[in-house]
Amino acid sequence: MLPTSIRTKRRRAKGQEPQYFLVCGIVICALMASLILVGYVWTPYDTTGMSGQDKFLAPCLAHPLGTDNFGRDLLSRIMEGAGSTFFIALCVILIGGIIGTFIGCLTGYFGGVADAILMRVCDAITAFPSILLALVLIAVFGRGTYQIIIILGILFIPSFARVVRGEVVKQRNLNYVASARLMGASHMRIIFRHILPNLIPILLPIVSIGFNNAVLAEASMSYLGVGVLPPDASLGRMLSESQTYLARAPWYALFTGLAIVLMILGVSLLSEGLQQRRRKER
């Protein structure tokens, strides 16, 4: 049997390096997904139940992550808060991704006046700082989970639209598109059956970056007090509340911030691992 070092060298020589990013991403995503899914149906304690005698308990067997300033179990709160953050980020990406991709495909393929107008609208949206524009829209439409989803979803449309439009402009003059036109395929069929599938490798990193930005945006909104309304748990608001008690209960900020970091890190590593694997398959 060959030594481990020789086997490793031969494996790398064949272009089969261990997928460290992919494995780590899968493990972290599976951990967070399990935490979120279980949190939707069961939590160790009532997430809104308060107990004066259990305030600021350090991590122990009864409360593995400790308790907060109201005596609420942090593990239960983080499970619910991570679920809320994931739900909002997923909905934001679906709204921004679907609408932005649709706009990018149409404007990139047809061009013309509609392309100029829609791209100028996207430029106008991206010209303002996203957080500032979100705060203005929240002041107009009010606070709440669904308001945050709609507002952030609208703000994420331009990023998808611009990337997709640029790629469609490149693809529309290639030979396979010209062949589809000669065979009588309609414009919609060419766009959504021929061009769009070729954009999937480009959309994958955009979706992962967008998801992470949506997580941070939701956490930022909740941190500023204009996100998920209490008594529902929110990682951003929990992180904001924990600042006051850093000296007395450092675990409060530590575990809440760690949940946000793991959610973002897992998606980033998974996306990078999938891209590496796709490049090697080529």
Write down the pTM of the prediction: 0.89
Per-residue confidence at 3, pLDDT binned at 50, 70, 90? Answer: low
Tens of pLDDT, residues 97-140: 999 999 999 999 998 888 899 888 888 888 888 888 888 888 88
- Asked if residues 218 and 85 have their Cβ atoms less than 8 Å apart, the reply is yes
Tens of pLDDT, residues 254-279: 999 999 999 999 999 999 888 888 77
pLDDT higher than 70, residue 76: yes
What is the total residue count of the chain?
Answer: 282
pLDDT for residue 18: 56
pLDDT for residue 127: 84
pLDDT higher than 50, residue 2: no
Give the residue, 114 or 94, on which the prediction is more confident.
94
**Can you list the domains of the chain with their CATH numbers?**
36-281 (1.10.3720.10)
CA distance 189 to 181: 10
Q: How far is CA 217 from CA 38, 92, 144, 153, 272, in A?
A: 24, 10, 14, 11, 22
What's the whole-number average pLDDT of the chain?
Answer: 88
DSSP for the chain reads ---HHHHHHHHHHTT----HHHHHHHHHHHHHHHHHHHHHH--SS-TT---GGGTTPPS-SSSTT-B-TTS-BHHHHHHHHHHHHHHHHHHHHHHHHHHHHHHHHHHHHH-HHHHHHHHHHHHHHHHS-HHHHHHHHHHHH--SHHHHHHHHHHHHHHHHHHHHHHHHHHHTTSHHHHHHHHTT--HHHIIIIIIGGGGHHHHHHHHHHHHHHHHHHHHHHHHTT-SSPTTS--HHHHHHHHGGGTTT-HHHHHHHHHHHHHHHHHHHHHHHHHHHHHHHH-
Instruction: Give the number of other CB atoms < 10 A from CB of residue 46.
Output: 11
Tens of pLDDT, residues 172-231: 888 999 898 889 889 999 999 999 998 988 888 899 999 999 999 999 998 888 888 888
DSSP for 111-148 reads -HHHHHHHHHHHHHHHHS-HHHHHHHHHHHH--SHHHH
CA distance 259 to 255: 6
Tens of pLDDT, residues 8-30: 555 554 444 458 889 999 999 99
